[in-house]
Amino acid sequence: MLSKLKEQAGQATAEYALVLVAAAVVALALIAWASTTDMLPSFFNTVMSRVISIANS
């Protein structure tokens, strides 16, 4: 029984590590895409202009 619990704990750890790797790959792909386009600065400028307009209202 104890060995089965250890196997399951190891499997959960491996699955957690795979999820972290997948999240890192997605984040790196998003960063690579954002650095090659003008979308991120444009989005940031839009957000900041709306925040400033709301603050001035």
In tens, the pLDDT along 4-57 reads 555 666 677 888 999 999 999 999 998 888 888 888 788 889 999 999 999 987
Give the span between the Cα atoms of 47 and 28, in whole angstroms.
23
The token pair that represents 13 in the structure block: 């750890």
pTM reported for the whole predicted model: 0.55
Which amino acid, 54? I
Given a contact cutoff of 8 angstroms between Cβ atoms, the answer to whether 12 and 19 are in contact is: no
Say what the pLDDT of residue 41 is: 83
